[in-house]
A and B are shown apart, each in its own frame.
Chain A
Amino acid sequence: AQSVTQLGSHVSVSEGALVLLRCNYSSSVPPYLFWYVQYPNQGLQLLLKYTTGATLVKGINGFEAEFKKSETSFHLTKPSAHMSDAAEYFCAVSPLEGGGADGLTFGKGTHLIIQP
């Protein structure tokens, strides 16, 4: 069984400030971890993923995330927020990169608000 917890349904930061979106997971097997972004009225776009190897993963739009097994965390960060980063962000876990027969298990999402 797997689960994902995203702390904070809404996060507000100033333009140019650090973005930190938190994600903790539980998994009975070594996990594949994902961050997806969803802009209004659009589907989910993959930001980045952790499969194996390097624990610091770089994604699109300047985002990165670090897999910390001891903390069961996969927090998403960006050094400097841009207005275009305003969106809903979802953390997901799976025993397989493609989801397998059980699909991806998603967190409830974090709405990122960027203040000018």
Chain B
Amino acid sequence: GAGVSQSPSNKVTEKGKDVELRCDPISGHTALYWYRQRLGQGLEFLIYFQGNSAPDKSGLPSDRFSAERTGESVSTLTIQRTQQEDSAVYLCASSPTGSNQPQHFGDGTRLSIL
């Protein structure tokens, strides 16, 4: 079946521009996660959705970062006024409930800020 789909796969933009990253989770998965993977570093948890609710947004790096989810489907991660330190791979994962089933990851969006 279809896995987690992320788009675009690559995004190059100028500093100061806004970007929107999209994640399509596996159908029926209520839990959705965003992670950031900087070069040479591990994955950094950003935000978790259960349905369309995000109980804790404290993992987002700054107020330039925001995320939304429509129902139990698509999620978008928006970065406003991008900075060079935002360059990273942004990974999305989903799981059936978020508690007792492992996460499935997408291939990520590679974001490069010039």
Verify B102–A43 contact, CB threshold 8 A: no
Verify A104–B105 contact, CB threshold 8 A: no
Q: CB of B51 within 8 A of chain A? A: no
Verify B107–A101 contact, CB threshold 8 A: no
Q: CB of A105 within 8 A of chain B? A: yes
Q: How far, in angstroms, from A104 to B35 measured CA to CA in the complex?
A: 9
Contact-residue bracket for chain A: 20 to 34
A36 cross-chain contacts in B, Cβ below 8 A? 105
Q: How far, in angstroms, from A38 to B33 measured CA to CA in the complex?
A: 17
Q: Which residue, B96, B102, B104, B106, has most C-beta atoms of chain A within 10 A? A: B102
B56 cross-chain contacts in A, Cβ below 8 A? 101-102
Nearest B residue (CB) for A46: B102
B97 cross-chain contacts in A, Cβ below 8 A? 98
Q: A99-B48, A100-B98 are in contact. Are A43 and B42 (CB under 8 A)?
A: no
Q: CB of B62 within 8 A of chain A? A: no
Q: How far, in angstroms, from A108 to B99 measured CA to CA in the complex?
A: 24
Q: A106-B43, A107-B42 are in contact. Are A99 and B33 (CB under 8 A)?
A: yes
Interchain Cβ contacts under 8 Å between A and B, 24 examples: A9-B40, A42-B107, A42-B108, A43-B4, A43-B108, A44-B105, A96-B99, A97-B99, A98-B96, A98-B97, A98-B100, A99-B31, A100-B98, A100-B99, A101-B48, A101-B56, A102-B56, A103-B33, A103-B48, A104-B45, A106-B35, A106-B43, A108-B40, A108-B42
- Given A96-B99, A101-B50, output 15 extra A-B contacts at Cβ < 8 Å: A34-B102, A43-B6, A43-B105, A45-B105, A46-B103, A49-B102, A97-B99, A97-B100, A98-B97, A98-B98, A100-B99, A101-B48, A103-B48, A106-B43, A106-B44
